[in-house]
Amino acid sequence: MVLSLKKTQLDLAWERCKQLQAEDAIGKTLVLAANRGGLVVDVEGLCGFVPFSHISSKTSYDDLIGKIIPVKFMEVDEEQARLVLSNKNALVENQISLGIVSIVEGVVHTIKPYGAFIDMKGVYGLLHISQISHERITSVENVFRSGDKLKVMILSQDKERGRISLSTKELEPTPGDMLRNSSLVYEMGGEMVQTFWQRIAQAEAAARAEEFRLNQE
């Protein structure tokens, strides 16, 4: 009777995970342990795995043990007892409501030669060196320091890879303002986003007009 009850509970857990995957829904998991490959988690009473490449946190993975983290389901294979999850995809999904070409506030978390990783309330995006200013920048450290607060525009989101691309360059009223007067850039950010949208709309309208003209010839 006990074995039968446990089997029924496991069957129900797998069905719930399959349903969550089919609905592309976000689930909650308890981090049990960390190893060389990623995190071992408990989800619906089943043992799941979150690869390191799909963990969003920049803190020590050991610090996540005992914590609840959101995940999305990448692979649910009951026959192989394989349950692979993504924390990054879940956090990117939470940011979708912000929308592409939206302005968000963040904090500089890590600086690399190629750009800065921005912490947006637990979701990390990359502000590439080429997207900081219209003027050429040779070193990101000359512009930002770890802990700096800033506003950025979301350029794109890659849900599969859990990546968010950011820009401050598109918020500059005039080229180079991020280097000379970043406060002005943040203040004028909303207007610059509207200008960005207008440029996109004009380009799309011109493309449609050209396509129509070619079809009439």
Q: 54-66, pLDDT tens digit by residue?
A: 887 666 778 889 9
120 and 84, same structural domain? no
Last residue of a domain, one of 92, 125, 144: 92
Q: Which domain holds residue 19?
A: 2-92
110 Cβ neighbours under 8 A, 6+ residues apart: 58, 116, 117, 146
Does residue 216 sit within a domain?
no
Does residue 131 sit within a domain?
yes
What does residue 181 show for φ and ψ, rounded to 5 degrees? Answer: -155, 75
Q: Number of folded domains in the chain? A: 2
Look at the block and give the residue holding tokens 């342990």.
33
Are 133 and 152 in contact by the 8 Å Cβ rule? The answer is no
Does residue 212 sit within a domain?
no
Q: Which tens digit of pLDDT belongs to each residue from 53-106?
A: 888 766 677 888 998 888 889 999 988 999 999 988 887 665 545 555 578 888
134 and 35, same structural domain? no
Between CA 14 and CA 102 the distance in angstroms is 38
Are 178 and 132 in contact by the 8 Å Cβ rule? The answer is yes
The pLDDT value recorded for residue 101 is 55
pTM of the model: 0.54
Between CA 141 and CA 161 the distance in angstroms is 27
CATH code, 179: 2.40.50.140
Does residue 141 sit within a domain?
yes
Name which of 32, 44, 28, 19 is nearest 87 in CA terms: 28
88 and 39, same structural domain? yes
Burial class (CB in 10 A: 0-12, 13-18, 19+), 206: exposed
The pLDDT value recorded for residue 145 is 93
Name which of 34, 47, 57 is nearest 78 in CA terms: 47
Does residue 54 sit within a domain?
yes
pLDDT band at 197 (very low <50, low <70, confident <90, very high): low
Between CA 87 and CA 95 the distance in angstroms is 13
- Whether the per-residue pLDDT at 162 is higher than 70: the answer is no
Look at the block and give the residue holding tokens 């943040």.
186
Last residue of a domain, one of 92, 115, 138: 92
